[in-house]
Amino acid sequence: MAVTPRKLLDIVTIALDDGKAEDIKVFDVRKLTSIADFMVVASGRSSRQVKALAERAADAARKRKVKPLGMEGEQTSEWVLLDLGDVIVHVMQPESRAHYQLEKLWDAGPPITPVLNPPKAKPKTKARAEAAPVAPAKPAAAPTRAPTGARAKPAATTGATKKVVAKKAVAKKAVAKKAPAAAKRPRATAKPAV
């Protein structure tokens, strides 16, 4: 299956983002030129990172069976140009990027927001699991039982009121349990000192 220009653009921008490229900008240049559909401009902090980012983008394209048409500038790595046909990638050091100002040259309209976080693939499930009915969601906090003989709570209570009522009910229950136990305990008598 052939990779569309937009999909190739997403593949490249994700690869650049994974390589920690800075200030990734994408331009739709279809109305300006016939050499490509999209231009990507990104920065690397050093010559080593610029070269690595360009190679990462090229490798990501190769994995999708898109062969790079050319790569230039990897010897000095101040500005590496990667030609992928429909997408041209410029990876530059900040000084070169500020000097050449490619954004001003190719900016013809609203910028395209690059896809930087790839969508997570849904886990494969069996057909039975998908057809099974979904159980209703459980409430966040199960209501506590009021002690016997306690007054019934009003039907419409807020979350804060429910918490206060529940705490009071638990406290009353604890007091009721402790009282009989304390009555059954024999009193300690003082032993005479020898």
pLDDT of residue 177: 57
- Split at pLDDT 50, 70, 90, the class of 186 is low
pLDDT tens across 92-116, in order? 999 999 999 888 887 755 556 666 6
pLDDT of residue 29: 87
- Split at pLDDT 50, 70, 90, the class of 20 is very high
Tell me whether residue 121 is in a domain: no
Q: Is 97 exposed, middle or buried (0-12, 13-18, 19+ CB in 10 A)?
A: buried
- Split at pLDDT 50, 70, 90, the class of 129 is very low
- Split at pLDDT 50, 70, 90, the class of 31 is confident
DSSP the chain: -PPPHHHHHHHHHHHHHHTT-EEEEEEE-TTT-SS-SEEEEEE-SSHHHHHHHHHHHHHHHHHTT---SEEE-TTT-SEEEEE-SSEEEEEE-HHHHHHH-HHHHH--SSPBPP--SPPPPPPP--HHHHHSPPPPPPPSSPPPPPPTTPPPPPSS--HHHHHHHHHHHHHHHHHHHHHHHHHHSPPPPPPPP-
Do the beta carbons of residue 61 and residue 8 sit within 8 Å? yes
Tell me whether residue 78 is in a domain: yes
Residue 47 is part of which domain span? Answer: 5-106
Tell me whether residue 40 is in a domain: yes
Q: Write the CATH number for 73.
A: 3.30.460.10
What is the C-alpha to C-alpha distance for residues 172 and 151, in angstroms, rounded to an integer?
A: 12
pLDDT of residue 2: 80
Tell me whether residue 140 is in a domain: no
Tell me whether residue 16 is in a domain: yes
Tell me whether residue 117 is in a domain: no
Q: Is the pLDDT of residue 88 over 80?
A: yes
Do the beta carbons of residue 57 and residue 82 sit within 8 Å? yes
- Does the pTM of the predicted model rise above 0.85? no
Angle 47-63/5-18 helices, nearest 10 degrees? 140
Tell me whether residue 179 is in a domain: no
Give me the number of domains the chain comprises: 1
Task: Identify which has the larger pLDDT, 84 or 150.
Answer: 84
Structure tokens at 33: 């030129």
- Split at pLDDT 50, 70, 90, the class of 33 is confident
pLDDT of residue 128: 47
Tell me whether residue 99 is in a domain: yes
